[in-house]
């Protein structure tokens, strides 16, 4: 026959595993492991992957621009004229509408 302390220990283990089982059941059905939550996370992952691809493309474009600027002073001057409307000393700016 099992004495009282062993019964109490077995009962506490049973309650512990019962709580773990209920907790896992909740996570699977309604919590962080539920199918709706997993779909939401997968959607966010897909969106982030798309954002990463766009940023990588922008990085490649910017790297090409950087190399073109470091190679040619005329590229820097052209960009300053085109984007900022800057002119050299003695020139006049003419705008067409």
pLDDT of 70 over the 70 cut:
no
Q: Helix, strand, or coil here: 8?
A: helix
Predicted model pTM: 0.46
pLDDT at 77: 76
Of residues 14 and 90, more confidence is placed in 14
Contact 53, 60 (CB under 8 A): no
Measure the CA–CA gap between 25 and 39, rounded to whole angstroms.
Answer: 18
pLDDT at 2: 66
Taking residues 8-33, report their average pLDDT: 87
pLDDT in tens, 22-50: 988 888 787 777 777 788 888 999 999 99
pLDDT of 1 over the 60 cut:
no
């Amino acid at each position: 026959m099992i004495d009282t302390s062993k019964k109490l220990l077995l009962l506490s283990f049973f309650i512990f595993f019962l709580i773990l089982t209920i907790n896992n059941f909740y996570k699977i059905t309604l919590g962080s492991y539920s199918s709706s939550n997993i779909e939401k996370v997968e959607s966010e992952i897909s969106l982030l992957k798309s954002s990463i691809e766009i940023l990588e493309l922008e990085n490649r474009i910017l790297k090409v621009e950087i190399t073109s600027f470091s190679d040619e002073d005329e590229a820097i001057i052209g960009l300053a004229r085109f984007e900022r409307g800057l002119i050299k000393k003695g020139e006049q700016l003419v705008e067409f509408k």
